[in-house]
Amino acid sequence: MKKELTISLTIVSLMLGVLLALGVRTQQTYTPILPTSNPRQLAIIIKDLQDTNKKLQEEIKALRNRITVYEDMLASGKGAIQTLNEQLQSLKVQMGLTGVMGPGVIVTVNDSNVRVPSPELQNFYIVHDYDLLQLVNELKSAGAEAIAINGQRLSFYSSIRCVGNVIQVNQVPIASPYKIEAIGDPDVLYSGLNLPGGILDYFKRVGFQVSVKKAEQIVLPPYTGMTGLRFAQPTGGS
């Protein structure tokens, strides 16, 4: 009987050891990610960060405005500087660092309103980052000159990606319905999107609620994300 007791206790002790070690490792793996696991505190932290983010973006806007003012001041100076400044301004427009306006199309995409047959398939019925990417790609290949998604202007540095369950454009989270505004030849953009077997066909097939409108006048905000090169060096020549 004593032998049995020892064997059984050993079995359970072995298991306890395994479980405890697993538990300790699991805690160590997941705790450093977040400062707290209390959802309410996390919500407050997120809110704080969002506020800071908003403030910083306003600061960026103010600083850009100041730069423009300085550039204007420079431009009112001499001829060579003035031409340089003109070049600078036109480059800024091309880089998406200024607001622009012009004719184009407005596409709105919303998640599917088709009844989802089973919860596992739910993923197919919501708009994903790659859906928006494809749409943007289509607009670019149809000659769009400036594009913004839910007011987030796209530039060379822009990214569209999924973080958790929200899509981030320029690292800023956006939510459905997605409004993609593109400046370019409205007719070309419109027909580019409506190609048979094209992107809108696909969207409609999965049941996304899509609408495309041509617009006489679209006003797009400047790109407010990060700019500046840290690693790339010009090689000289052009």
Partner 1 sequence: MLFIIPLLGFLLSFLLVYFAHIAVPLHFATYLSVAILAALDSLMGGIRAGLERKFDNLIFLTGFFVNSIAAALLAWIGDFLGVPLYLAAVIAFGVRIFQNLSLIRRLVLQEYPARRDKSERTR
- Enumerate binding residues for partner 1 (CB under 8 A): 1-2, 4-6, 8-30
Q: What is the closest distance, in whole angstroms, from the C-beta atom of residue 86 to partner 1 in the complex?
A: 56
Do the beta carbons of residue 194 and residue 185 sit within 8 Å? no
Nearer to partner 1, 11 or 42 (CB): 11
- Distance from chain centroid for Cα 107: 17
Q: Give CA separation, 112 vs 117, 128, 195, 224, in Å.
A: 12, 11, 21, 31
Nearer to partner 1, 11 or 101 (CB): 11
3-state secondary structure of 149: strand
Nearer to partner 1, 13 or 87 (CB): 13
Do the beta carbons of residue 211 and residue 105 sit within 8 Å? no
Q: What is the closest distance, in whole angstroms, from the C-beta atom of residue 31 to partner 1 in the complex?
A: 10
Residue found by looking up tokens 């990417």 in the block? 133
Nearer to partner 1, 3 or 205 (CB): 3
Q: Tell me the CA end-to-end span of the chain in Å, nearest whole number.
A: 89
Q: What is the closest distance, in whole angstroms, from the C-beta atom of residue 105 to partner 1 in the complex?
A: 43
Q: What is the closest distance, in whole angstroms, from the C-beta atom of residue 8 to partner 1 in the complex?
A: 5
How many residues are there in the chain? 238
